[in-house]
Amino acid sequence: MSNVPAEFKYSKSHEWIKIEGDTAVIGITDHAQEELGDIVYVELPNVGRVLSVDDVFGTVESVKAVSELYSPLSGEVVAVNDALVGAEAVINETPYESGWLIKVKLKDAAEVETLLDDSGYKSEIGE
């Protein structure tokens, strides 16, 4: 059983979203990091990039696999977790905390209502 905190929102493509005022913090779920295995490389967007829902905003890679990251919300990237470069294992260790990927300034707060809650995501991953 993977960890699915109740206070976050989720996407079907295994991103988690934490809403802080008008900003969304985005990362990958515990289930996603478990499926990927040891993460060794992350490619993230530049601050200022404008994302629409389902845009590919980067990739995470394990030794053997590449996984694309999909934006669950629309908005402008206002922060990127540069501390992950060279320390990608942090995503495996604490995916919901130090393993966050980007912060997006929301364009349309109503989009948040389209995201899954914890029970919705749990049923998505069969838990």
Residue 64, SS3 per DSSP:
coil
d(CA 84, CA 91): 8
Q: Which residues pair with 24 in a beta bridge?
A: 19, 104
Report if residue 43 touches another protein, rule: CB under 8 A. yes
Specify the DSSP class assigned to residue 110.
Answer: G
Binding-site member from 18, 23, 40, 111 for another protein (CB under 8 A): 40
Q: How far is the CB of 53 from another protein (least distance, A)?
A: 20
Which stretch of DSSP H or E encloses residue 80?
strand 75-80
Q: How far is the CB of 63 from another protein (least distance, A)?
A: 4
Q: How far is the CB of 58 from another protein (least distance, A)?
A: 10
- Which residues of the shown chain bind another protein in the complex (CB under 8 A)? 37-38, 40-41, 43, 59, 61-64, 66, 85-86
